[in-house]
Amino acid sequence: MTATDGAQDVTHEARRRRSFAVISHPDAGKSTLTEALALHARVISEAGAVHGKAGRRGVVSDWMSMEQARGISITSAALQFEYRDCVINLLDTPGHADFSEDTYRVLSAVDSAVMLLDAAKGLEPQTLKLFDVCRHRGIPVLTFINKWDRPGREALELCDELLERIELQPMPLTWPVGVAGQFRGVVDLDDGAFVRYERTAGGATVAPEYRMSPDDAEAEVGEDWTRAVEEAELLTSSDGEFDPTRYEDASATPVLFGAAVLNFGVRRLLDLLIDLAPAPEPRKDADGAPRPLDGEFSAFVFKVQTGMDPAHRDQVAFARVCSGVFERGMVVTNATTKRPFATKYVQQVFGQQRSTMDTAYPGDVIGLVNATALRVGDTLYSGKPAVRFPGLPQFAPAHFAVARPADLSRSKQFRKGVDQLAAEGVVQLLRSDLRGDASPVFAAVGPMQFEVASHRLEHEFSCPVVLDRLPYSAVRRLGDSSQRGIVDAGRRSEVLDRGDGTELALFEDEMSMRVMLRQHPELALESLLAEGD
């Protein structure tokens, strides 16, 4: 094969890729939708629902025991499968605000997103924050209004909310027939047909779909059909007509209605992701130069996870391929350490299930096993010249706790577990000379991160921990190391060191910080990245 043939092959394969994330507020049905998409792609034969429903197993993407027990996603998960000659890289993200830093990292690795709204609740605070991240990154968004099989709000009201609260023009592609809770089917606005769904036992299998002409639909469902057509026409005539360029530039969103737990409307969403969602494009490196898709191999690590296989407790680094061809066994360079990294063990991920991956192309997510040398934000590349993609920023923590082993004889396991959690980004790890390495400080965006850290230390490292909360709620970056003593001398403040070299000045509250600044106007304090920045 010539170099030209190889470049054409990479470009062709990149065009086949669709990499997207599902984002939503907790309990909007995100993991259920993720599994329904896999069901319609026929890569699983039967869907599960959230844990706890009689006779139903947990969703494929929720593999952690805490997720299965609570019925929520607390860590992101990757699913890769083929559909219609395309390769889907679907990333399910945590919906809970306490894990928004994990979601932010995932959004750095995708080309589009599906925003899932609960028909009864509409736009919720976490959904707004996640959409802000998408807008900031220029990520096109498809909107799926879920749970139409349950009582909820008016369809027009939900669409108006998109325009009024986030200035995102809704462009409906389907419209519900029947109010929320009395779902009869949808109007397909492409051809005006009525798509009627048939329930299956517990929604565990693909729901059959039947298409009817407008005349037949009016005869069968009467007033519900007339109302649906009139509402859809009202919205499309008010600047809501579908325009793919507005979707691509993230100024408008296609809107679909459905019920993921019953698999209603899911096939249309999957088809739209193939037809509309963007394929990978050249990604800019840290200097702002686009990396050609057909150039030498490059990728960046956006997530590190341990414990997906309880029998082995191996560490998997998830990396998004940005350019070139990845081949298992190739030796690449870690741009952070400048050291070579052998890729002998590489896996394709489908939730907790894994299989060996030999080749990957731009847009694919690869799982590098036993990758203890890799950290979130690392760039991997082959050949020359060297490349490095922008790092992934850490959010400003808002909760702090001193961690120590409940049993001092487990100190070795404690140190190993703490270092592992910090490498994964489960919590930020802070240290100080005052407390020493034996008593690190956990820093978190939300308190549930502490629960996850404690649970994993106990169950994966056999080391129960005691967490002593610290009374800090205001944090800034210390701009001048020589001023460290000023903060440490305060009654309600101290400086702690983060693993990336950042010195964090912690204060009991904003008032305490302002008092210190009045007393020491020369003190150099800088803001940190917050959620949605």
Q: How far, in Å, CA of 508 to CA of 506, rounded?
A: 7
95 is in an annotated binding site: yes
Q: How far, in Å, CA of 50 to CA of 71, rounded?
A: 5
Distances (CA, A) of 130 to 123, 127, 175, 253, 462: 11, 5, 25, 15, 35
Q: Which string of DSSP letters, residue by residue, matches 381-403?
A: E-SSS---PPPPPPPPP-EEEEE
Q: How far, in Å, CA of 233 to CA of 281, rounded?
A: 35
Q: Which two tokens stand for residue 29?
A: 């049905």
Write the burial class of residue 253 (CB in 10 Å: 0-12 exposed, 13-18 middle, 19+ buried).
Answer: buried
> How many C-beta atoms lie closer than 10 Å to residue 95's C-beta?
26
> How many C-beta atoms lie closer than 10 Å to residue 410's C-beta?
17
Q: How far, in Å, CA of 364 to CA of 298, rounded?
A: 12
Q: How far, in Å, CA of 466 to CA of 60, rounded?
A: 32
436 is in an annotated binding site: no
446 is in an annotated binding site: no
Distances (CA, A) of 193 to 188, 190, 197, 213, 217: 5, 8, 13, 5, 8
Q: Which two tokens stand for residue 491?
A: 């009654």
Q: How far, in Å, CA of 114 to CA of 176, rounded?
A: 19
Q: Return binding residues.
A: 92-96
Q: Return binding residues for GTP.
A: 92-96
